[in-house]
Structure 1
Amino acid sequence: MAFPIVTVAGNGFLKSSIRFQIKGCSSFLNQFGFFHKLTCGARYIGVAYIGDNSGSSIIDTLADSNADQCAIDAPLIKELGANTISVHYIDPSQSHDKCMQSFRDNDVYVIANMARQRDYSDVDMAGLEPSSNLGNSTWQTSVFNQYAAVLDSMASYENLLGLIVGNEIVDKSTQVDLAPFVKAAVRDMKAYAVARQYRTIPIGYFTSDDDNWAQQMADYLVCGGNKSEAIDFLGVNDYSWCGSSSMNTSDYGQLTSDLGDIGVPLFFSEDGCTDVQPRTFEDQGAIFGSNMSDVWSGAVVYEWRKQSGSGSEFGLVSYTTTAPSTPSPLSDYSALSSQWASVTAADNAPSTLPTPSCPASTGSFWPVDPAAALPTIAGLDFANIKPASASVAATSTGTGTGTNTSKNTSTSSPNHTTSKSGLSTGAKAGIGVGVACGVILALSVLFWFLYRRRLHNNQPADANQESSSAPTSAGPVPELPATRTWRHPPSELPAGGGGQAQELDSVAIHEAGYGANKPEGEEMSREKTVYK
């Protein structure tokens, strides 16, 4: 039975023609200079889902090496009331079949980040400042190949809700010039998915809540009237609702006013202020209430796992033993579960809104020229990117089980489209040839049998005139091509390109200056706004 795929409709998500609100969680890793954030959430309700951050390696918590832990956590996340997890690092060289299946079995969707994490330091950020040659340090071949590999590794899973091109890449005024590169990444990854003949996978972006230009960034990523280069959804990281706050006291009222007209699904991609303890998550009632539910598609709460030894005040569960182990729910788990149990997801149809106008260039505040062409990657020709194999294409249209078993490419034309029945023209032709061969073989056997019977009836018993062998059939049924596991960027993608794949960073760019004076190993504060 096919798993219902979540789609975008107007300013909301749909699941089986019913509005989908995210209930999810997010998580953040800061250890030895690495960052790892995950989130989960229908209209979004979710939590952050990460592994132990005591080591120096970046953790892909959906890799099959973590399958036993996924099998334990997925039911607990569902019991919490979450229906989505969003992961901020995927290793495309690994299989994710087992973890994705565990979350699928528990009706939990996934939002994944295509960007690769990078080291945290001010020096590493220097190459991303507008004063540098951005064309040589951001959206380039190596970054494209990283994103394409992640897209390939996740495309066949039916519980993949969407992919993001980055998280807070633009987080301060000196980084606004990076906005065209973010939009270029959206355009090229959508084109890549079309060339590979995957289903329509929503592509989005997670932004900060900066009041100065949050609206300009949102409008820019949606504007222009060309859906092939516009984001399909927007997540907003905001921690301004603390304790018994309100829409006016927090940023929620202003954000709803500023972003309510962008016309794509909007949700809180990080949520859960810790200024007031214990956390009561009272903002969930507002997010799913009548004042916000027409605009917002839910929230992702930070975070699933309480990190040991970091002094973190976040965390819904704690792990006392090494993985795989069953975590112990904390007070935040119960409080959030109670809030989500008391809210009613909106069933109103999403609204179709006019495309917003592109923000005008206003000097250093918003220097982006709305009429300027988006950056391109030299040598990138989507006509040379081959469609995915028939098995992957069939799965990605909703007819498969969601298990990612093949990443090989086809030799058919890039302009070929998969039929609605899930079979390509080549597959249908192969079936036809096989049936024809079977019919010919059956007729041949019948003719041979009648011929021998006639000889037996009309010839002497000792006559030795019988043929030494039966007539040859029309040939064997054509052998189907064997599938092979492919977990790396396809060979037809442009090679090289200079720079490193992590340079269009999803996390670290916006973190400089926050928690810089913290003791080594201590988690940085996520309350980045000045609360009113």
Structure 2
Amino acid sequence: MRSLFHSLALLVALLARVASAVHTVEVQGQSFVDTVTKKRLMVIGVDYQPGGQAGYKPQEGRDPLSEVDICLRDAIMLQRLGVNTIRVYNVDPTLNHDECASIFNAAGIYMIIDVNGPFSGESINRAEPWTSYHEDYLKRIFGVVENFMGYPNTLGFFAANEVMNDMDTGKVNPQYIRAVQRDLKNYIKNHADRTIPVGYSAADVREILQDTWAYLQCAHDDDQSSSDFFGLNSYSWCGGDATFESAQYDVLVDMFKNSSIPVFFSEYGCNEVKPRVFDEVQALYGEQMTVLSGGLVYEYSQEESDYGLAIINDNGTVTLRVDYDNLQEQFNKLDMARIESLNPTATSIDAPECTSRLITNQAFDTNFTIPDVCPGCADLIENGIDNPTRGQLVEVTATEAPNAIYGSTGTEVEGLTLKLLPNDEANGPSGETTSPSGTGTGSAAEPSKTGAASKITGGWGLLVAVFFALLTAL
């Protein structure tokens, strides 16, 4: 009997583990790779900052991942949209993000977190970077690492965003970006239980783009300062008349074909033509652009810049825009079987050694001597910051949408719930539509019963087999 109880305890432990998390992701060559299945992960994502920069209110204990009902509401809509990744720009490292991170994890959605913030002292000063690289700044960004490194759906950290946006800033900032990346990577190495990639999000300024990528990806004395991935904020594809060539996607493919690290769009979705039709989605995930690892559409919520997929109303309800419908339609067209079968090791290129010969414009920085660790910071990297807020996954029990959601026609979308995906499963396009038609019932589309059954069988079948194996061994 004791053996039976022991076997049942093992089964319960397996159940808890299988239900706990998506697989972590690592970098291999030009690809993000699932550490368990070894399959390539293509980023199918959306930038997420409800309330915009104003949604970051540390003085009130609020940021985009601090309010559970908001995260549940939006995770449901992002899951239905078909995304597997969000980017979150501004987070407070002192807040508890367990519930929100766990909700997105349960939805099969990874997070890329920016370590910087919009307030003074929370980011590198692009005009005088040496004035902002100090102990207090590193305490802040290491706090973000501590806060999010425990979540398996933390895909990576952005060390900086668009710090170089012209030739002047391209002359003085690259060394400091590499210094910050070095410090973050060494902190992760010393204090996290896994490797979490660190990268940079670049502005699409063509006079410095290639040099920015070349400077950040090259290898320099094994000092850990190079980017693990490279994000590009690209808005060159505008409207339904744009083409692969007119948007200069062919130029980007040629530029990054020899990349030693993953490259993806950290923002995309030009809004010069409205509503956006997102034709670029088929190009981005098509056979001509497999050198890139997907991208993140800017952005989920409607803010002053008018890029929103959804309007968050004052009472907490959400009204989807036609942009949401159009993007969902484009995601549903993707050939996921082909995307998921891409060989992550097909292109593995060693990073070139850092040298001035890599730089095409000599007005850009050609000095690869990275600044020393700032005074007092070496101890932080070695021993950790004091009293960090460390995140961990918690059980997700609430799955019903806490607020009403209205389609782009104004009809309420009924029956919205978060689908708790089995362990190891990332979210993706499901083929369903969300906004009810004007003549429809307004009911949400039901998931395929066959598909749902196959997901359950895949996760529980293994457990049943293990259970009977344990019984047989008694």
Shared fold per TM-score greater than 0.5 = yes
Q: CA offset at residue 195 of structure 1?
A: 1.8
Partner of 2:314: 321
1: CA distance, partners of 2:142 / 2:28: 25
Structure-2 residue corresponding to 1:103: 104
Contact 2:56 2:91 in 1 (8 A): no
2:335 corresponds to 1:344: yes
- Aligned twin of 1:152: 146
Q: Which residue number in structure 2 is paired with residue 489 of structure 1?
A: none
Query: Which residue does the alignment assign to 2:321?
Result: 330
> Does structure 2 conserve the Cα–Cα contact (< 8 Å) formed by 1:114 and 1:147?
yes
The amino acid that maps onto 2:50 is: I
**Which structure has greater helix proportion?**
2
Report what 1:163 is aligned to. 157
Matched, 1:186 2:186: no
Aligned to 2:373: 376
Q: Aligned partners of 1:186 and 1:55: how far apart in 2? A: 26
List runs of 5+ in structure 2 lacking aligned partners: 1-16, 396-474
Q: Distance in 2 between matches of 1:372 and 1:182?
A: 12
Q: How much has 1:253 moved relative to structure 2?
A: 1.6
Q: Shift of the alpha carbon at 1:357? A: 4.5
User: Corresponding residue for 1:254?
Assistant: 251
Task: Tell me, in whole angstroms, the C-alpha distance in 1 between the residues paired with 2:113 and 2:206.
Answer: 26
Q: Distance in 2 between matches of 1:219 and 1:54?
A: 34
Alignment of 1:199-210 (within 5 A): 199-210=194-205
Q: Distance in 1 between matches of 2:95 and 2:282?
A: 39
| Separation (CA, whole Å) in 2 of partners of 1:89 and 1:283 | 27
2: CA distance, partners of 1:55 / 1:230: 31
Instruction: State the Cα distance separating 1:24 from its structure 2 match.
Output: 1.0
Shift in Å at residue 387 of structure 1?
6.7
Q: Cα gap change, 1:246/1:358 in structure 2, threshold over 3 Å: closer, same or farther?
A: farther
Cα deviation for residue 364 of structure 1 reads: 7.6
Alpha-carbon offset, residue 256 of structure 1: 1.7
SS in 2 for 1:13: strand
Count of residues paired in the alignment: 360
What is the CA distance between 1:113 and its match in structure 2? Answer: 0.7
Aligned to 2:415: none
Matches for 1:57-206 after TM superposition, within 5 Å: 57=57, 61-64=63-66, 66-118=67-119, 128-129=126-127, 134-135=129-130, 137-176=131-170, 177-206=172-201
Alpha carbons of structure 1 residues 63 and 279: separation in structure 2 relative to 1, 3 Å: closer
Say which SS state the counterpart of residue 296 (structure 2) adopts.
strand
24, 46, 68: which is aligned to 1:5? 24
RMSD: 2.9
1:271 to 1:331, Cα distance in 2 relative to 1, 3 A: same
Q: Deviations over 1:428-487 (max 9, x none)?
A: xxxxxxxxxxxxxxxxxxxxxxxxxxxxxxxxxxxxxxxxxxxxxxxxxxxxxxxxxxxx
Within a 5 Å distance, the mapping from 1:385-396 to structure 2 comes to: 385-386=382-383
Q: Deviations over 1:226-247 (max 9, x none)?
A: 3722111111001010113112
In structure 2, give the amino acid aligned to 1:195. Answer: N
AA aligned opposite 1:153: N
Q: Distance in 2 between matches of 1:55 and 1:348?
A: 38
| 1:201-240 superposed matches below 5 A | 201-224=196-219, 226=222, 228-240=224-236
Match of 2:38 in 1: 17
- Letter aligned with residue 371 of structure 2: L
**Computing the radius of gyration over CA atoms, which structure comes out larger, 1 or 2?**
1
Please give the alpha-carbon distance, in whole angstroms, between the structure 1 residues aligned to 2:385 and 2:189: 10
CA contact (8 A) 1:164 1:203 kept: yes
Identity %: 26
TM-aligned CA distance change 1:24 to 1:318, over 3 Å:
same
Residue 56 of structure 1: how far off its partner (Å): 8.8
In structure 1, the residue matched to 2:49 is: 49
Three-state SS of the structure 2 residue aligned to 1:343 is coil
What one-letter code is carried by the residue in structure 1 that aligns with 2:33? L
Instruction: Quote the offset at 1:142 in angstroms.
Output: 1.5
The amino acid of 1:402's aligned partner reads L
SS of the equivalent of 2:173 reads helix
3-state DSSP class of the match of 1:107? coil
Alpha carbons 1:74, 1:106 under 8 Å: kept: yes
1:508-527 map, 5 Å: none
Give 1:343 deviation, angstroms: 1.1
